Amino acid sequence: MKPVMPSLGSSEALRVGARVGPYRLLDQIGAGGMGRVFAAERADGEYEQRVALKLINKGEEDEELLPRFYQERQALARLAHPNIARLLDGGVTEDGQPYLVMEYIEGLPLDVYCEQHRCDTYARVRLFREALAGVQHAHQHFLVHRDLKPGNILVTSEGAPKLLDFGIAKWLQASPQAPKLTATGMQPMTLDYASPEQVKDEAVTTASDVYALGVLLYELLTGHSPYRKTTSGSYNLQKAICEEEPQAPSEAITRIESAPGPEEQSAKTLTPEIVSATRESSPQKLRRRLAGDLDRIVLKALRKEPQLRYGSVEQFSEDLRRYLEGQPVSAREGKLSYRAGKFMRRNAGKLSTAAVFVALILGFAINASVQANRIAKERDRALAASAFLSSTIKLLDPIEAPNDTLTARAQVEIGVERIKTTVAHQPDLQALLLWQYGDLNRKLGKFESADSLLRESLALRQRIYGNNHIEVAKVLLGLGRLSNHTGKYASAESLLIAAKSIYRDKLGEKSEDFVTASNVLAQTYTETKQFEKAANVLAQTRELMLQLRPQGSYELGELLLNLSHLNLEQARYDSAESNARRAYEMLLKFSSERNPELSSALNNWGEALLHQGKHAEAEPLLRKAYHIAAAAVTDDHPVTALIKSTLGACLTGLRRFAEAEPFLTSACQYLRANHGDENFFTQQALKNIIAHYEARGLRQEAEEYRRLLLPERAASN
């Protein structure tokens, strides 16, 4: 429903010490065109809480002010991310003045924080990537921030960046909650960080935020603006934004010029020595650090043409991740000599001088081959085919696009045939696409097809890359996950240990791939009753995850889900309930509300409640889990079947036997027919239907199913 717009009125503005709803204003901490921001505290005695309270300016005549205020409120209400300040409350004062109550962030603007902590180049890039995660979350909710600048990204004392101020954010998608702002003229912006299309009053998309982030990163790395501000005045700056090609960051640090301090503090003279003092030990070292990949990454984000920038904040962040890990970045051409150089720098300690010399000679010889043009054309055609097929896979992925998976199942078969014909002459691309389709089949519950495709991909990759390569590890991880689903735990353990070993060797233990493989291996240990091993691996993995992303992540949600399952197997039901609930909350924070992983978290949460005799509390959770799973991966899926079985167990506990039996029997029939009696999901369903018949006193029916239990499952039943 569209909010009622109160009159702004013209009474005296509220001041420090005044009451606003249940809050008391303490200090004014910010002001802008829309309103003022105060530090405030809860004053109604309910509990202690310090907040940031934003009041709209009174007496303004701008007709867009109130709609923009409500737009900001709606924007914040839609966002839930550890790198975005949260909306806590809101309302209207007695005299009709609207206000927002937000999470109070004690922190420094991003540039000030980096200067005061003398962050080196790598630390600045890592911190910047965390800020990108918040922007990416906003984009996923169809919001363009339009005012990204250091003052709107505060860094807490723990080193966590928080994105603020969605006052001029723009919806990319029509929405009844999005006010229609009809005034014409120049768009609202902070000119120093505005994109060319904002300056020209053209259409604004997520590419505009990418540009602003490029300006921000340029300043973080060099201390300079990408524009030479030799003449004052907004006209000259607008002209520079639209026409002036920025100097490469590695060259910009050599400039000597006057520039404003952080957040418009007093002007200062920038010299190479001053800039490098808070970044690296010398101008020479800073220049070497910036030259090459970082130059290209920043300049790509600052392209004047929106279509030539990074296609998304996620792609921008990915290139920065690859830079940090010494891998080739997409912003540079994929020349063999460049990629060979990257390889040698990553493996300098493992290559002898002679080996480096031979690699260089081979690299230059191949790069100078008369066949280069032909190879490039074939590569481009193959990459185009790969991009087309990969995008198709993503659209069919039940986690990426959980909608019409029945269609997805039908199209998978067509997709596999297309792989084998379209890229048959490119075995590396064929291996990539077979791996992606194999993993898609796994997610769709087509385990037999998944196994065939993944093993075909593994054979190709081992032939191309050898046994000790990251591309091989990816397939080993997929096969390990699949073996867990199909109950082949000895195989899963072997595959996952091999994948972990490659990731440790190539990327180190503080890499997301190593952490993911460890998390999946812990699941294997849980299923094989190696509880101590599982707990140790999960504890170590959780510590690594929090080092990588202190504010949480989707992967941490998966780990908490695994931990809740371990707790269930250990009969630690209080812990299982707590961890399943936390898993659900973490997964929801970093994914869609229709993500099938959420249904698994709800299922574990509900099962933990069942074991505590809280059947009435469990029922709504399990029904929600069933609806999510059925919508995301259809009713014809092992996860959906397992949830139906757990819901049947809940209804059994409530003595609603007639409702329970159809859920239990259909789950067992589907799982036995499609996945066999030894499958993990089948064994769980068997236990539930046995308990159902025993509760009804039907011992013969219970015994018919009991004989299908594996010995270890029968012992725990």
Between 161 and 270, the higher pLDDT residue? 161
- Considering the domain architecture, whether residues 199 and 254 belong to the same structural domain is answered as yes
State how far the Cα of 357 lies from the Cα of 329, in Å rounded to an integer: 24
Residue 390 lies in a domain: no
For residue 78, the tally of other CB atoms under 10 A from its CB is: 16
The answer to whether residue 147 is catalytic is yes
According to the model, what pLDDT value does residue 548 have?
78
Q: Which residues contact 507 (CB under 8 A, 6 or more apart)?
A: 325, 470, 513, 514
Residue 223 lies in a domain: yes
Three-state SS for 460-520 is HHHHHHCCCCHHHHHHHHHHHHHHHHCCCHHHHHHHHHHHHHHHHHHHCCCCHHHHHHHHH
- Considering the domain architecture, whether residues 96 and 122 belong to the same structural domain is answered as no
Examine the pLDDT at 677 and tell me if it is beyond 70: yes
Residue 130 lies in a domain: yes
Give the number of domains in the chain. Answer: 3
Q: Are 631 and 596 in contact (CB under 8 A)?
A: no
- Considering the domain architecture, whether residues 221 and 83 belong to the same structural domain is answered as no
- Considering the domain architecture, whether residues 242 and 161 belong to the same structural domain is answered as yes
According to the model, what pLDDT value does residue 554 have?
84
Residue 628 lies in a domain: no
Q: How confident is the model at residue 575 (pLDDT cuts 50, 70, 90)?
A: very high
Q: Mind listing the pLDDT tens digit for each residue in 521-557?
A: 999 999 899 999 999 999 999 998 888 777 788 889 9
According to the model, what pLDDT value does residue 17 have?
83
Examine the pLDDT at 181 and tell me if it is beyond 80: no
According to the model, what pLDDT value does residue 168 have?
55
In the structure encoding, which two tokens stand for residue 128, read together?
């910047």
Examine the pLDDT at 333 and tell me if it is beyond 90: no
Residue 631 lies in a domain: no
State how far the Cα of 271 lies from the Cα of 151, in Å rounded to an integer: 24
Examine the pLDDT at 397 and tell me if it is beyond 80: no
State how far the Cα of 13 lies from the Cα of 335, in Å rounded to an integer: 62
Average pLDDT (494-512) is 92
Q: Mind listing the pLDDT tens digit for each residue in 206-249?
A: 889 999 999 999 999 999 999 976 545 677 888 889 988 899 99
Q: How confident is the model at residue 164 (pLDDT cuts 50, 70, 90)?
A: confident
Q: Are 532 and 522 in contact (CB under 8 A)?
A: no
Task: State the burial class of residue 586 (Cβ atoms within 10 Å of its Cβ: 0-12, 13-18, 19+).
Answer: buried
Between 663 and 383, the higher pLDDT residue? 663
Minimum mean pLDDT range among 21-30, 161-170, 478-487, 688-697: 161-170
- Considering the domain architecture, whether residues 231 and 357 belong to the same structural domain is answered as no
In the structure encoding, which two tokens stand for residue 687, read together?
């236990």
Q: What are the phi and psi torsion angles at 516 (to 5°)?
A: -65, -45
Average pLDDT (471-486) is 93
- Considering the domain architecture, whether residues 208 and 245 belong to the same structural domain is answered as yes
In the structure encoding, which two tokens stand for residue 277, read together?
């003092």
Amino acid 505 reads: D
- Considering the domain architecture, whether residues 97 and 123 belong to the same structural domain is answered as no
Examine the pLDDT at 371 and tell me if it is beyond 50: no
Examine the pLDDT at 92 and tell me if it is beyond 90: no
Q: Which of 111, 147, 295, 439 is catalytic?
A: 147
Q: Mind listing the pLDDT tens digit for each residue in 436-455?
A: 888 888 887 788 889 999 99
Residue 436 lies in a domain: no
Examine the pLDDT at 494 and tell me if it is beyond 50: yes
Q: Mind listing the pLDDT tens digit for each residue in 592-607?
A: 677 788 999 999 999 9
Between 350 and 28, the higher pLDDT residue? 28
Which of 103, 136, 162 delimits the end of a domain?
A: 103
- Considering the domain architecture, whether residues 285 and 136 belong to the same structural domain is answered as yes
- Considering the domain architecture, whether residues 43 and 117 belong to the same structural domain is answered as no
State how far the Cα of 348 lies from the Cα of 359, in Å rounded to an integer: 12
Mean pLDDT of the chain: 79
Average pLDDT (287-301) is 91
According to the model, what pLDDT value does residue 355 have?
44
- Which residue, 552, 652, 656, 649, is CA-closest to 608? 649
Examine the pLDDT at 401 and tell me if it is beyond 80: no
Between 90 and 519, the higher pLDDT residue? 519
Residue 379 lies in a domain: no
- For residue 347, the enclosing domain spans 341-369
Q: Which residues contact 651 (CB under 8 A, 6 or more apart)?
A: 619, 657, 659, 660, 663
In the structure encoding, which two tokens stand for residue 297, read together?
């990454």
Examine the pLDDT at 424 and tell me if it is beyond 80: no
Q: Are 464 and 430 in contact (CB under 8 A)?
A: no
